[in-house]
């Protein structure tokens, strides 16, 4: 006899991590930083190691204090979680349950549909427009009395497209005030459009200040390079932040992660140099894709989306043969994370190898091609 599990879990897709990269390959499948942690961050984590026999401080006083000060918000509005994916789950859990709808664009962040189902709520997916952007008019039209939360992933994963500040404000203004709008800015540091108006300031925060129904999600995983330590934060309306603290699984954010986050906030000038490099390599990688005839979409994130359609498997294999592990979405396209100059060179060489032998020969000689 098997034990019964919740029947509604049948509809939950399993979260698929980017495929593992063989040694020596460029792992461009999970939008991680190509850089190892900064020495100051390593030191900060090492200083915490002697106290890992203690539970972490759930109130995360330093990191929350620093963030509240930086953004000029009440610390009670700031919550931290084991990555912003945990905060996305908390926000859903704070407002939605059985019979409620949670809306997002599609394709967007892969975790949204699962998180919504796990909460027992119903995901409502609104297709991106022909330019791979959020179709905000269609999203407005899809709001029903059951809608409790709307995610706007800006820039969007996996397409890298951005909703401009003015467009987003029109949208937020038109959404009923009893529907929470969550602006997921995981990639905002890589954005060079007008949406990004200074270090760590997407337009989301400004909207949070001006509207009572807006929350913003940021993470230390991507631009700050702490994906493995699991820490992100939300800035939300007070009643939502209170509810988040109720639904949170206790002790999710370790003191190691809190220390690393504070050290990263202290090292933003150093991190900015790394971010600029990733942005430059992203644009170089897109140029190489376009030059090779692939329809790479202009990106404001740390990855490039290639809506290759029925040539998705072909592109994925070609990259793989060139020592590049990207993220393929069957029949839709391939998302390639931006890494360092060597990674972008690999992508260019892999594309060239499809048409001429020498690049393939060189990669084989380097032991990159199996």
Ligand X SMILES: *Cc1c(COP(=O)(O)O)cnc(C)c1O
Binding site for ligand X (CB under 6 A): 31, 83-85, 109, 153, 157, 184, 186, 219, 221-222, 227, 232
Q: Closest distance between ligand X and the C-beta of residue 65, in Å?
A: 20
Cis peptide before 107 (omega within 30 of 0): yes
> Are the CB atoms for 360 and 370 separated by under 8 Å?
no
The least CB distance from residue 15 to ligand X, in Å, is 11
Least distance CB 111 / ligand X (angstroms)? 7
Nearer to ligand X, 141 or 249 (CB): 249
* 7 cis-preceded (ω within 30 degrees of 0): no
Measured from the CB of residue 239, what is the shortest distance to ligand X in angstroms? 23
DSSP 161: -
Which is closer to ligand X, CB of 30 or CB of 48?
Answer: 30
Looking at the Cβ atoms of 107 and 274, the one nearer to ligand X is 107
Degrees to nearest 5, angle at CA 183 with 256 and 189: 60
Taking the C-alpha atoms of residue 136 and residue 208, their distance in angstroms, rounded to an integer, is 18
Q: Which residues contact 200 (CB under 8 A, 6 or more apart)?
A: 70, 188, 189, 218, 268
Give the pair of three-digit tokens for residue 311: 């040539």
Which one, 213 or 218, has the nearer CB to ligand X? Answer: 218
User: d(Cα 152, Cα 169) in Å, to the nearest integer?
Assistant: 12
Taking the complex as a whole, the smallest distance from the CB of residue 361 to ligand X amounts, in Å, to 36
3-state helix vs strand vs coil in the chain, percent to 5 = 45, 15, 40
Which CB sits closer to ligand X, 227 or 292? 227
Helix 165-174 to helix 203-210 angle, to the nearest 10 degrees? 30
Residue closer to ligand X, measured from CB, 89 or 351: 89
Residue with nearest beta carbon to ligand X: 83
User: Which residue, 300 or 318, is less far from ligand X as judged by CB?
Assistant: 300
With 0-12 / 13-18 / 19 or more C-beta atoms within 10 angstroms meaning exposed / middle / buried, residue 327 is: buried
Please give the torsion angle defined by the CA atoms of residues 257, 261, 264 and 268, in that order, rounded to the nearest 10 degrees: 150
Least distance from ligand X to the Cβ atom of residue 37, Å: 15
CB 218 within 8 A of CB 70: no
Q: How far is the CB of 303 from ligand X (least distance, A)?
A: 9
Residue nearer to ligand X on the CB measure, 202 or 323: 202
Q: Which residues pair with 328 in a beta bridge?
A: 334
Q: If we measure between CA atoms, which residue out of 246, 15, 240, 13 comes closest to residue 149?
A: 240
Asked whether the bond before 343 is cis by omega within 30 degrees of 0, the reply is no
What is the nearest approach in angstroms of ligand X to the Cβ of residue 291?
A: 27
CB atoms within 10 A of CB 118: 16
Spatial contact of 105 and 139, defined as CB atoms under 8 Å apart: yes
Q: In the bound complex, what is the minimum distance in angstroms from residue 233's beta carbon to ligand X?
A: 9
For ligand X, give the closer residue by CB, 85 or 267. Answer: 85
* Nearer residue to ligand X within complex by CB, 92 or 369: 92
Least distance (Å) from ligand X to the CB of residue 268? Answer: 18
Up-side HSE of residue 280: CA atoms within 13 Å toward CB?
9
- Both tokens of 135, joined, read 């179709």
């Amino acid at each position: 006899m098997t034990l019964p599990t919740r029947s509604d879990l049948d509809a939950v897709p399993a979260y698929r991590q980017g495929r593992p990269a063989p040694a020596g390959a460029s792992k461009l499948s999970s939008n991680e930083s190509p850089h190892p942690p900064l020495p100051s961050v390593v030191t900060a984590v090492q200083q915490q190691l002697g106290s890992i026999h203690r539970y972490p401080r759930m109130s995360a006083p330093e990191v929350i204090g620093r963030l509240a000060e930086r953004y000029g918000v009440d610390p009670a509005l700031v919550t931290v979680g084991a990555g912003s994916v945990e905060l996305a789950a908390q926000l859903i859990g704070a407002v939605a349950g059985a019979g409620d709808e949670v809306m997002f664009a599609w394709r967007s962040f892969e975790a949204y549909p699962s998180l919504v189902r796990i909460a027992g709520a119903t995901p409502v997916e609104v297709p991106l427009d022909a330019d791979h952007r959020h179709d905000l008019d269609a999203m407005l039209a899809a709001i029903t009395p059951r809608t409790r939360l709307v995610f706007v992933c800006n820039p969007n994963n996996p397409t890298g497209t951005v909703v401009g500040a003015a467009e987003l404000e029109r949208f937020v203004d038109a959404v009923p005030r009893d529907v929470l709008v969550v602006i997921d800015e995981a990639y905002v540091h890589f954005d060079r459009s007008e949406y990004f108006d200074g270090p760590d300031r997407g337009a989301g925060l400004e909207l949070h200040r001006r509207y009572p129904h807006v929350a913003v999600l940021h993470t230390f995983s991507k631009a700050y390079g702490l994906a493995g330590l699991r820490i992100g934060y939300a800035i939300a309306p007070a009643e939502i932040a209170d509810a988040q603290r109720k639904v949170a699984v206790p002790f999710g954010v370790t003191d190691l992660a809190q220390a690393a986050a504070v050290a990263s906030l202290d090292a933003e000038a150093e991190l900015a140099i790394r971010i600029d490099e990733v942005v430059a390599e992203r644009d170089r990688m897109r140029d190489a894709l376009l030059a090779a005839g692939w329809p790479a979409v202009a990106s404001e994130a740390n990855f490039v989306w290639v809506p290759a359609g029925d040539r998705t498997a072909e592109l994925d294999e070609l990259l793989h043969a060139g020592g590049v592990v990207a993220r393929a979405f069957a029949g839709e396209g391939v998302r390639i994370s931006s890494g360092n100059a060597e990674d972008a060179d690999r992508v260019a060489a892999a594309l060239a190898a499809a048409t001429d032998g020498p690049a393939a020969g060189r990669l084989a000689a380097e032991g990159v091609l199996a």
